[in-house]
């Protein structure tokens, strides 16, 4: 049964928005404007932005005001993340961003129906709540956060479901980086279709 999005609005709860470098995955190191939406019900125990979960704690922004904030920077890429951004209908936001000449990137766990027009979709499925099957083949990038050894099997499950053009990344959970990274390195050496993603923004101390 498809999960129905509880929101359909052009006013969105925003936990934070900022211009920085993309710290993870295929576009790592590129300048990007991040819009982090409030609200998430996936419940990852190791989530590093648990303060985003309760949408009611975050101010609502009209789409126009967000576009204006992005326009104050030389950003060419806008990353919409969360929380879980697909809790909301993102058609209007992405339409306005693309009309302004900006590339739209999405970071999602895939548990809600896809809305919006995207130049890049990063799917990061979580064991706590499975992604919708129809979103999986839309992903340009599959990013699996590795918390323990069993996550490698989890990663292979979704690698078999994404398109043949989807980039595959394994990323150590931040608090277990020292323990998990050597395991990921050995796994990638044995399975070279995968690449390593590190949260470089945490190493260089940028948002």
- Decide if 93 contacts 12 (C-beta within 8 A): yes
Does the structure show a pLDDT above 80 at 48? no
> What are the tens digits of pLDDT across the range 101-122?
999 999 999 999 999 999 999 9
Does the structure show a pLDDT above 80 at 5? no
Percent of the chain scoring above 70 in pLDDT: 95
Strands (E), 148-188: 167-172
Give the residue from 136, 96, 98, 130 showing the smallest Cα distance to 114. Answer: 136
What is the average pLDDT value for the chain, to the nearest integer? 92
3-class DSSP state of 26: coil
**How far is 179 from 174, CA to CA, in rounded Å?**
10
Q: Quick one: pLDDT at residue 46?
A: 65
Strands 167-172 and 120-123: unpaired
Q: Name the residue with higher pLDDT: 184 or 42.
A: 184
**How far is 24 from 22, CA to CA, in rounded Å?**
6
Kindly state the average pLDDT of the residues 90-98: 96
**How far is 179 from 159, CA to CA, in rounded Å?**
23
Kindly state the average pLDDT of the residues 129-140: 95
Of the chain, the end-to-end C-alpha distance in Å amounts to: 37
Please tell me the least confidently modeled range out of 49-63, 85-99, 162-176, 186-200. Answer: 49-63
Does the structure show a pLDDT above 70 at 6? no
Give the residue from 156, 153, 180, 184 showing the smallest Cα distance to 170. Answer: 184
Residue 184 CB partners (closer than 8 Å, separation 6+) = 146, 170, 171, 172, 196
Domains and CATH numbers, the chain: 11-203 (3.20.20.70)
């Amino acid at each position: 049964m498809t999960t129905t999005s509880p929101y359909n609005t052009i006013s969105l709860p925003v936990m934070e928005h900022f211009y920085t470098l993309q710290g993870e995955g295929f576009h790592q190191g590129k300048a990007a404007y991040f819009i982090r939406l409030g609200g998430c019900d996936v419940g990852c125990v190791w989530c590093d932005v648990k303060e985003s979960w309760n949408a009611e704690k975050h101010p609502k922004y009209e789409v126009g005001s967000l576009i204006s904030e992005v326009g104050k920077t030389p950003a060419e890429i806008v990353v919409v993340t969360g929380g879980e951004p697909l809790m909301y209908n993102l058609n209007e936001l992405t339409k306005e961003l693309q009309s302004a000449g900006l590339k739209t990137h999405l970071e999602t766990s895939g548990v809600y129906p896809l809305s919006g027009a995207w130049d890049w979709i990063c799917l990061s499925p979580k064991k706590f709540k499975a992604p919708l099957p129809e979103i999986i083949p839309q992903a340009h990038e599959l990013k699996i956060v590795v918390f323990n050894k069993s996550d490698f099997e989890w990663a292979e499950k979704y690698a078999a479901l994404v398109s043949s053009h989807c980039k595959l990344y394994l990323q150590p959970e931040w608090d277990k980086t020292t323990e998990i990274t050597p395991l990921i390195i050995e796994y990638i050496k044995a399975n070279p279709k995968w690449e390593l993603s590190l949260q470089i923004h945490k190493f260089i101390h940028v948002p």
